Structure 1
């Protein structure tokens, strides 16, 4: 007895053979047409299928039009995956076409290279710029982005922007002594312009403490300016201060940019030169949300002499020059505080008589002899 094909059902099992659709269709067509593609001697499997169909016809279990071909035979349900995927893909393409930024990484290069550059921090300043910084997009500063629309948005935060050069021996002074002169200069700049206590009007004791005690005239003048400010004794000449009852800083970041250099000075000393700009974002005290900025540029020249040759206090620095240029603060007010002006302010008093300047322009020096109350081209 010939072996039963492995894919035939066991007699009486009630199982139906699994016939691929293409084999089924071809079998029906060949059976109907009687063409050469059908085997002349049907296989055991074909005979079994034919017999099963004949028995179903006899029992009335097959529809009358079953011989019309495979087109009328019930087909297995198939999930139409590709049409659904096509619809989803078309919708995604439409969204990307309208707003390419939804794709992370900007694969199509749709973002403005200038905007990307504006968002990246600037490297430290190592030499005087040759031109003022370019103007970023004219965004309005907010509490969330107080430096929006300002070149300072790319500047360093606070003391991180005061980067000291590598110390080397100068004349009779050792590397350690030069390093001390640089560190003391940095201490003065930080306490005078970045310390939160100083900014709200408190006494800058640390800054005063690094100054040569023998500079009695300077220290007396600074003490008077802090306690009894007037036109001739203005603490703003050395320190940045805001009246806390009037002005509040936005956040705890002050933007900083500048550089420190040093060289051999007179009388066996090292001469240190500092040139820094500080940008302060502020609002009115009392819950106001309107943000503006005050920009203060300071130039400081100090020296540290060899204490074995001159009568100086070891480790203290002598102030040779201190100058400042202030942008966006009311003129002719001598109460010892900066007074930022806001866009919503109603103009009062006489019209500005001085020149219009760019407070972010570090390519030029400070004209300490300039007269008149000028205006700034941007804040």
Structure 2
């Protein structure tokens, strides 16, 4: 799914928003393993390395290793059994590269653009009010009004979401009637690059981002303590056109393209929210188990555009 916008100065701006492999649920076999061998009753077992990872500077060569019997998440430790346990907390995981003069922009201008790009990612994916279903006003305000179609389409998607225009393609929101965050931490990992545009992007400075966010949640009902995790990977291309050649608004961002992969979120519901599935849901209704190609949502070694367009299952959450 995607949209192309005619640039008022000529050319086309491509803003492709894809919900790839909107995978739901936890593989049933993993749930059975937990019922047979409870990790907390295996004192000889290594609980796993919790040493924080160094910042990601390039595409990983492989997915993180998987534990045979991963720990189950709890309200106190919602990232137990997940590679995200070693990831940075929230905005600390979004580390812009060192600024340098690039294209038409000075070092100071690049530094400001990187800062604003981080602000957008935080506002779109880490703002507690947005995660709880609120409108991402701070993120929307960062979009250049000279890109009116982009802002208008996003506003429309928030007001009346559809399969073709769903705000979860760019913003992370859960329905407060359905779930609430398990704690205050979202784990984050990824990278950001900046370069002078070439070819169709000539005249622009281009910032590319690729981040994965891990959200632990519990059901909204009072007293709920079963933790599920939804993993969201997003790529975003931000363009900074040369104001000598294009009409732009200082201090704003032009969103050129975005893609997303949503793991453990219903892929057949388009109401503007993510909908995680819990182990208890599968126990209550085994027929609700997802089907389709299996993917590892923690595998950042593959290009997001290469992901399956089908709904599928996740190998772990």
TM-score per shorter chain, which class? 0.7 to 0.9
Query: Partner of 2:179 in structure 1?
Result: 247
SS in 1 for 2:157: helix
The reply to whether residue 205 of structure 1 matches residue 137 of structure 2 is: yes
Cα drift, residue 338 of structure 1: 0.6
CA distance in 1, matches of 2:277, 2:136: 25
Cα drift, residue 315 of structure 1: 2.1
Query: Partner of 2:60 in structure 1?
Result: 129
CA distance in 2, matches of 1:304, 1:348: 49
Aligned pair partner of 1:186 in 118, 121, 124:
118
- Call closer, same or farther: CA 1:253–1:358 in 2, change over 3 Å: same
Aligned pair partner of 1:174 in 100, 106, 120:
106
Aligned pair partner of 1:217 in 126, 131, 149:
149
Query: Partner of 2:8 in structure 1?
Result: none
- Runs of 5+ in structure 1 lacking a partner? 1-110
CA distance in 1, matches of 2:131, 2:53: 25
Aligned pair partner of 2:300 in 338, 362, 378:
362
CA distance in 2, matches of 1:305, 1:371: 32
Q: Cα deviations across residues 291-346 of structure 1 (Å, max 9, x unaligned)?
A: 11000000001111221332111222111111100100112001111110001113
Cα drift, residue 270 of structure 1: 1.2
Q: Is the 8 A contact 2:104 2:205 kept in 1?
A: no
Cα drift, residue 371 of structure 1: 3.3
Q: Normalized per residue, which structure has more helix?
A: 1
Cα drift, residue 267 of structure 1: 3.6
Query: Partner of 1:153 in structure 2?
Result: 85
Q: Is the 8 A contact 2:169 2:260 kept in 1?
A: yes
Structure number, greater radius of gyration: 1
| 1:91-110 superposed matches below 5 A | none
- Call closer, same or farther: CA 1:315–1:267 in 2, change over 3 Å: farther
Query: Partner of 1:271 in structure 2?
Result: 206
Q: Is the 8 A contact 1:273 1:302 kept in 2?
A: yes
Query: Partner of 2:313 in structure 1?
Result: 375
Q: Cα deviations across residues 64-111 of structure 1 (Å, max 9, x unaligned)?
A: xxxxxxxxxxxxxxxxxxxxxxxxxxxxxxxxxxxxxxxxxxxxxxx9
Cα drift, residue 115 of structure 1: 5.0
CA distance in 1, matches of 2:279, 2:119: 34
RMSD: 2.0
CA distance in 2, matches of 1:128, 1:170: 22
CA distance in 2, matches of 1:199, 1:341: 17
CA distance in 2, matches of 1:348, 1:242: 24
Cα drift, residue 349 of structure 1: 6.5
Q: Is the 8 A contact 1:323 1:368 kept in 2?
A: no
Query: Partner of 1:309 in structure 2?
Result: 245
Aligned pair partner of 2:272 in 317, 325, 336:
336
SS in 2 for 1:153: helix
Query: Partner of 1:227 in structure 2?
Result: 159
The reply to whether residue 298 of structure 1 matches residue 234 of structure 2 is: yes
- Runs of 5+ in structure 2 lacking a partner? 1-43
- Call closer, same or farther: CA 1:352–1:372 in 2, change over 3 Å: farther
Q: Normalized per residue, which structure has more strand?
A: 2
Query: Partner of 1:97 in structure 2?
Result: none
CA distance in 1, matches of 2:287, 2:147: 39
